[in-house]
Amino acid sequence: MANSKLIVVEGAQGAGKTTYTDYIRYSLSYTNLYRLCGTSDSTITGLQKAKDMYNSLLDYVEGLQNKSINLLFDRTFFTEEIYCRLGKKEYSFTEVYNKLLERLSKFDFEIYYITLYLDDENIFQERLNRDGKAVFEASKFGVENSINQQKEYLKMADEIKEKYPNINVININTNKPKEDVEKEIRSKIGY
């Protein structure tokens, strides 16, 4: 029986991942936070790099089962799949993604997959550009890119929920007061 939580937080650029993974990290005892950005190699050779990296990550996670520590990820292999679905890579990651997800679902953790989203897509403009400057380097893709990412992340969450009932799939709208989002996170994760 799992005694630790494995939490993956995903969402489009500007959805609030950094803000809320920091919150979870400091409010949930015994939690390690990992921030991953994937491989920048979008060519076909990037497929093997991504496959190796994420398999090694799951080897590491597997070794931490039953260690009484919570693991929190700000992005993982789900992001790689989203970027491929959106045509940002020259390869398909779906076969690797499906194998990684199947493997993850069998780990002895209480597993949470959280998608952060904005129900008012206009807020992406505010979050990606502050004081007239792009906040994130990735903002060069623009607000439309974040909106397209969000649609795919929400679709992915539905797919995971349907196929893996042991993974707690949670969608959280971050277009509300921070205190309300934090309260919802605590309630849904159970701490």
Whole-model pTM: value is 0.92
What is the percentage of the chain residues whose pLDDT exceeds 70? 92
Q: What DSSP state is assigned to residue 14?
A: T
Number of domains in the chain: 1
The mean pLDDT of 170-178, rounded to a whole number, is 97
Do 189 and 28 touch, CB atoms closer than 8 A? yes
Domain containing residue 109? 5-189
Q: pLDDT band at residue 9, thresholds of 50, 70 and 90?
A: very high
Give the C-alpha separation, 107 to 134, whole Å: 38
Q: Is the pLDDT of residue 74 over 80?
A: yes
Helix, strand or coil for residue 111? strand
Give the C-alpha separation, 126 to 14, whole Å: 9
Give the C-alpha separation, 157 to 11, whole Å: 10
Helix, strand or coil for residue 114? strand
The CATH number assigned to the domain holding 86 equals 3.40.50.300
Q: Is the pLDDT of residue 138 over 50?
A: no
pLDDT tens for 33-45 read: 999 877 788 999 9
